[in-house]
Amino acid sequence: MTSILLASEGRPFSKAAIAQASAMAARGGKIHIISIARIWGVSLGFPNPWLLPSKQEWAQQRAHVADAIAELKRLGHDATGTVAATRTPAKRINAEAARFGCTAIVMGSDPRRHWLLADFYWSQEPYRVKKRAKLPVELVIAPEPRPH
């Protein structure tokens, strides 16, 4: 039986990513959902409460997870979800996949940026997840915005 982790580094779950997770778990597999609330860093080497996620950020991530669960229920799947706070989403997402015994990770992603700049963008976190993962990671690329 398959177990899929639908993960996000904080962005809303796209319909395409949800559909991909649904298709991968089509034969009765379980779907677990995780969304990351970003911890912005430390101040002078110590955790600083102003760098932790605010109540609004927590609520926003919980809403993303609830929306994904509702969409998966509409598609006929039972799903569980959680929100976690971390400064290293790739490490946390891979740890959650191992904890749940997942066979694959599905994430929405932006197109890959130039290798020299990619490490400086939070939006490139799905590629860091894929690089660290010991299991298959399916990245669902968001379409490029069209100029008007």
Q: What is the pLDDT of residues 1-33, one digit of tens each?
A: 689 999 999 899 999 999 999 999 987 789 999
DSSP states along 76-119: T--EEEEEEEES-HHHHHHHHHHHHT-SEEEEEEPPPPPTTTGG
For residue 110, the model assigns a pLDDT of 78
Q: Is the CA virtual torsion 14, 16, 18, 20 positive or negative? A: negative
Long-range CB pairs of 25-28, under 8 A, 24+ apart, other chains included: 25/77, 27/1, 27/2, 28/1
Cα gap 122→24, rounded to integer Å: 26
In a domain, 87, yes or no: yes
In a domain, 32, yes or no: yes
For residue 74, the model assigns a pLDDT of 93
In a domain, 148, yes or no: no
Mean pLDDT of the chain: 84
In a domain, 147, yes or no: no
Cα gap 60→82, rounded to integer Å: 12
In a domain, 88, yes or no: yes
Task: Look up the domain containing 14 and give its range.
Answer: 3-141
- Give 38-77 pLDDT, tens digit per residue: 887 666 666 666 678 888 999 999 999 999 999 999 999 9
Number of other CB atoms surrounding residue 108 within 10 Å: 22
For residue 109, the model assigns a pLDDT of 87
User: Quick check: 120 pLDDT over 60?
Assistant: no
Cα gap 143→52, rounded to integer Å: 31
Please report, for the domain that includes residue 125, its CATH number.
Answer: 3.40.50.620
Q: What total of structural domains would you count in the chain?
A: 1
The candidate with the shortest Cα–Cα distance to 68, out of 25, 128, 125, 130, is 25
